[in-house]
Chain A
Amino acid sequence: MSESNLSLDSVISLQRQYRFQYEEAQQSYVLLYPEGLIKLHGSAGEILKRVDGKTTVEGIVSDLQQNFPGVELRQDVIEFLEDAYVRGWIRTK
């Protein structure tokens, strides 16, 4: 992770103008912000659900691995969080 914005022990949280919630009518998690919403498909919702301002990147990966055993998810999760950082959805504390 040498050229990345996040390290495994970064504690991450949602940027303050974003809100994360489950939307029944959409049958998915969404990320809400003033201009609109982002529908989170599949694992995106599961990952962002664990961004609570207290847990590190490693903590999130570990928790996901516990909940989804047998799935090789480490790289995908880290890439997703890197992307979320670049998009401005999350920030490090």
Chain B
Amino acid sequence: MSEAGSAPSNVKPPLWVNAEITFRCPLHCLFCYNPVDYAHSGPELTTDEWVTALRQARELGAIQLGISGGEPLMRDDTEIIVAEAHKLGYFTTLLTSGIGLTEKRIAAFREGGLDAIQLSFQDSTRELNDFLSSTRTFELKSKVAALIKQYDYPMVLNVVLHRLNIDHVDKILDMAEAMGAEQVELANTQYYSWALVNRDQLMPSLEQLQRAEQITNAFRARVGNKMKIYFVVPDYYATRPKACMNGWGSVFLNIAADGMALPCHEARMLPGLTFPNVKDHDVRWIWHESPGFNAYRGDSWMKEPCRTCPEKTKDFGGCRCQAFMLTGDATNADPVCDLSPNHHLIAEQVAKAQQPIEPANVHPIVFRDDKNSRRLGAKSGVPVPAGAAVDS
């Protein structure tokens, strides 16, 4: 099954595996990073297929396993996957909205050796408003938080921040404190998949960001060591790109719900690349030999300014997917970098975000659901943000 690709001989094993065990989800978040055309993806892997893939990845040297989705609790075999992964020696983290987390299930996770739970406070605008105004939603989340603590897991909360909720960061932090969270990640959404479709609605202004940061810092000073708080700023506000995934096919292996193996959640939308499926290929071949995983390793694929840039070993030219989505060419520099000739695409969007949203000027919100996914996936399959300079 080997092909004529040449894998660099110094390719280290993956350390992280992200298992998106299902794309099913009870929520409809407008910033979801699942593929926009998830409704067109193939059937879910069976339990055995997951365990086989995880075993192969572990044999390669993978250590950290994130079990996510969609909502991983939508599957009935999540406990089995966790237990098998634990036996294999993985450090396992369940990334969940908490919906469906009963005492029975969490007891089974504990028994099976689950190491950590990350509770996502996933909200659509509808949910946050409900949450902020409705005691019932707060009670539900509090019940889940109580279960998590009862079963001796640290309470780790991941809150996606965006333009529509960032002004409520004080209430969000108060809620985290009330739930007894020991760690809170305030993650400003990045603009991929559904979040790219909804980018106009999601991107905060600089003023909003700075205000939120001030509030967060004041909160930090008050709570001290009781809570660790991370505040992640959107990369559009930087002048250098992130070292995406720590490099293409470097430390991270994503396995999607239908078995497609990817170097990141988003890569499946890159044209001209084929990504292998764990049903058809051994993970060792996938990681070391497959053309998809080798496509952007090393630096011979780089164009200028990255090719001769002294910082290329630091950020690898940024994100291939972002380069493709915004400039039409995955080998370009990530336009977040202000050395990129396409940086104006970012600057224009940033400028737009400083203005109040005029409904006439922005893409209406598209909530993540099967209907929208079928509709959006039926077109090119690549979400193009309104106003992007992409020629096809």
Cβ contact within 8 Å between B91 and A19? yes
Listed stretches A25-33, A47-55, A72-80; interface member: A25-33
Question: Which A50-73 residues sit within 8 Å CB-CB of chain B?
Answer: none
Distance in angstroms from B62 CB to nearest chain A CB is 8
A8 at the interface (CB under 8 A from B): no
Cβ contact within 8 Å between B60 and A32? no
Residues in A neighbouring B377, C-beta threshold 8 A:
none
CA distance A23 to B60 in the complex (A): 11
A87 at the interface (CB under 8 A from B): no
CA distance A23 to B156 in the complex (A): 26
The answer to whether A37 and B15 touch (CB under 8 A), given A25-B60, A25-B61, is yes
Report the contact-size class of chain A (Cβ under 8 Å from the partner).
10 to 19
The answer to whether A16 and B64 touch (CB under 8 A), given A34-B93, A34-B116, A37-B15, is no
B177 at the interface (CB under 8 A from A): no
Number of interface residues of B (CB under 8 A): 15
Cβ contact within 8 Å between A32 and B154? no
Distance in angstroms from B244 CB to nearest chain A CB is 16
Residues in A neighbouring B91, C-beta threshold 8 A:
19, 32-34, 37
Select which of B13, B15, B89, B152 is within 8 A of A16 by beta carbon: B152
Chain B 167-184 interface 0/1 with A at a Cβ cutoff of 8 Å (1 = within): 000000000000000000
Cβ contact within 8 Å between A36 and B154? no
The answer to whether A23 and B154 touch (CB under 8 A), given A34-B93, A34-B118, is no
Residues in B neighbouring A24, C-beta threshold 8 A:
61
Residues in B neighbouring A32, C-beta threshold 8 A:
63-64, 91, 115
The answer to whether A17 and B60 touch (CB under 8 A), given A25-B13, A32-B91, is no
A21 at the interface (CB under 8 A from B): yes
Cβ contact within 8 Å between B89 and A21? yes
Cβ contact within 8 Å between B116 and A23? no
Select which of A19, A26, A34 is within 8 A of B156 by beta carbon: A34
* 5 tightest Cβ-Cβ pairs between the two chains A and B: A25-B61, A32-B91, A34-B116, A17-B154, A34-B93
Q: Which residues of B contact A (CB under 8 A)?
A: 13, 15, 60-61, 63-64, 89, 91, 93, 115-116, 118, 152, 154, 156
Q: Which residues of A contact B (CB under 8 A)?
A: 16-17, 19, 21, 23-26, 30, 32-34, 36-37
